[in-house]
A and B are shown apart, each in its own frame.
Chain A
């Protein structure tokens, strides 16, 4: 197991953002995290990632208890993430943005090696032509790809993707889904939060559904999309589930 979440809760004052979330994530899988807005998906990322400390519970990453570790430590251990609201380093070039990931991530390269890795990653993600532009000059789709490139340049073991498809047009979504699949082929484990149902049903090995901070379902995409609780809380329409599965095939 690369990641074990054991009874994790997170309160913000009186608000229970996460309640007793528990799951294990085997290496090499893609876990889809879905649920209505405000269900606690991004909070779960922030807790795993060390941005927030959980109020209760334990987080085990590669056999090590990392519950109280900060986000820098997690980055060095091989955890990388993207942000739902993109956070480009605006006044730096695209290449420099990606080099930061390579320099300070798990492998901690020097500048020369980091530059090489950054070029490779930009090639992989399809941003090569923009390498020398300032990050602020990119459009939203490109900024999402930049977030991915930065995360990948750190050569993580586990990658947390927070709505990388949101706001993209259909062809950009196809491109991104393809990238996600190719990342998995490199042996990187992925947890992704997504609202674009046909994409996440298609790409995930397993799905976890959160609603008001509670885990209401977990299983294969088929199981989850036929689960009455999920339909009621999130999908809304029983027929939709069926259509989603057909679309995925």
Chain B
């Protein structure tokens, strides 16, 4: 019982993820499954970003680069190398991790706005590179031969399976986020976020910690990318590296509450819901990104700690649940 109480924060987050996943499983409705897939994808991406943005305090405007790179590596493995989805996802995660490690060693020396600008540069550079990289199909991209899906019991079955894999990935990312937050490593990250100089004076190995935080925050987006484009059936540069999705990820994390496990989850689910409503509204369907900009502005101005941060402050006795 006692150990359960200590992990209430994790349990609360997992319950929400499972509930989101359970809806389409129970209803067996393909449309609601696709909606849930999008929400889970957003949660996984936002939770990954949160490890860097929320725990470590480094704003990455180009985090989608890991999603895109993972997608490309994954699809290349599936189409050109004939590998299974599992191998593709593993390699996608690994290559995202390696890219993050190298970037961490170089651009994480930069602080604040300079780091944020550098991440945009990285995203654009990778996009430009892939645009001109023939093995990945250059500007046309790659597409999956329908025969590939036979391995997974046909295209319909593959869509269904992708949903379960997405659910599993989301559960993994939530657990990972919680483990990082409650570990000694996580304590060091929080110290870096609050005052990097003071943290170093206290002995936090800031350069290494930041690099590993970056690596951890990149792995899951990489794997999600491979899965997403496997399900999508094709990939092209503009679709793989959309800068505005990076910004949407930041909005989700800020809205829900940066630096908490539950925050990115609520933020992503809430934002996707809002986006869905806007897209079917004739007035807002073309300016839904402007609305997300306004949301970000309102959050930063009035509840900089996000929804979960605000709730934690309002009801401190609920802190155990609102991790």
Contact = CB atoms under 8 A, between A and B. Distances in A.
Interface in B166-213: 183-184, 187-188, 190-191, 193-195, 197-206
Given A103-B184, A111-B187, A72 B197 contact: no
A15 to B, nearest CB: 21
Nearest to B183: A111
A145 interface: no
20 contacts: A51-B197, A72-B205, A75-B200, A75-B201, A87-B195, A89-B190, A91-B193, A91-B194, A92-B191, A100-B188, A100-B204, A103-B184, A104-B188, A104-B191, A104-B204, A105-B202, A111-B183, A111-B187, A114-B184, A150-B202
Interface string A146-163: 000010001000000000
A104 B203 contact: yes
A101 to B, nearest CB: 5
B317 to A, nearest CB: 12
Interface in A86-104: 87-92, 96, 99-101, 103-104
A86 to B, nearest CB: 9
Contact of A89 (B198, B203, B206): B198
B194 A90 contact: yes
Interface of A: 49, 51, 70-72, 75-76, 80-81, 83, 87-92, 96, 99-101, 103-106, 108, 110-111, 114, 150, 154
Contact of B199 (A80, A81, A100): A100
Contacts of B201: 49, 51, 71, 75, 81, 83
Contacts of B203: 72, 75-76, 101, 104-106, 108, 154
Interface residues of B, number: 20
A236 to B, nearest CB: 34
A150 B183 CA distance: 19
A103 B195 contact: no
Nearest to B195: A87
> Residue among A72, A91, A99, A101 with the most chain B CB within 10 A?
A72
Contacts of A99: 187
Interface of B: 183-184, 187-188, 190-191, 193-195, 197-206, 259
Nearest to B194: A89
Contacts of A90: 194
Contacts of B184: 103, 110-111, 114
A104 B199 CA distance: 9
A83 B200 CA distance: 13
Nearest to B305: A91
A90 B193 CA distance: 10
A70 B190 CA distance: 21
Contact of A75 (B187, B193, B197, B202): B202
List of 3 A-B pairs having minimum Cβ-Cβ separation, nearest first = A75-B203, A89-B194, A104-B203
Contacts of A72: 200, 203-206
Contacts of B194: 88-92
B229 to A, nearest CB: 37
A150 B193 CA distance: 17
A148 B190 CA distance: 20
Nearest to B309: A91
